[in-house]
Amino acid sequence: MPEETIFSKIIRREIPASILFQDDRVTAFEDIRPQAPTHILIVPNKLIATVNDVTPEDEAALGHMFVVAAQVARAQGIAEDGYRLIINCGDHGGQEVYHLHMHLLGGRRLGPMLMRRD
Ligand code: 5GP
């Protein structure tokens, strides 16, 4: 079993977080250090450390994350203008918390996806 992170405690409501949505598969809560006017994390309740650890049995929960992302974006009033979904994986991907999660970012024009190096 991978080691639990702070996200498991948030999912179990053992530590405070601004939870916007929760069901038996997925939890969505506001990022503690927002990088855009809307910055929400969408997390499978099951501890999956990274995208590398995904298995076919996770397909339903991972697909559900997109349904929840669209629902939360609509509820936040950013669906029409658009937004960005990001999943970081591992060291080079910039992942800090090893419990797979999707960032939902919006509320302003976000600009290019990555800093250009050329
Ligand atoms: P990563 O870099 O792993 O893709 O993103 C981790 C995200 O989790 C970061 O944006 C960070 O601000 C957020 N985060 C880390 N610890 C906490 C916490 O305790 N509560 C909340 N709500 N967000 C957190």
Check pocket membership of 17 for ligand 1, CB cut-off 6 A: yes
What range defines the domain where residue 75 resides? 6-106
- The pLDDT of residue 2: 86
Q: Is 16 left (phi over 0), alpha (psi -120 to 50) or beta?
A: beta
Torsion angle (degrees, nearest 10) of CA 63, 42, 95, 48 = -60
| CA 55 to centroid of ligand 1, rounded, Å | 24
- The pLDDT of residue 117: 79
> Does 1 reside within a domain?
no
- The pLDDT of residue 20: 98
Which listed residue (39, 92, 99, 101) is catalytic? 101
Rounded CA separation 45/22 (Å): 9
Tally the domains of the chain.
1
Q: What is the CATH number of the domain that holds 44?
A: 3.30.428.10
- The pLDDT of residue 116: 76
Q: Is 111 left (phi over 0), alpha (psi -120 to 50) or beta?
A: left
- The pLDDT of residue 1: 79
pTM over 0.85: yes
Average pLDDT, 10 consecutive residues per value, the chain (118 residues): 94 98 98 98 98 98 98 98 98 98 98 83
> Does 66 reside within a domain?
yes
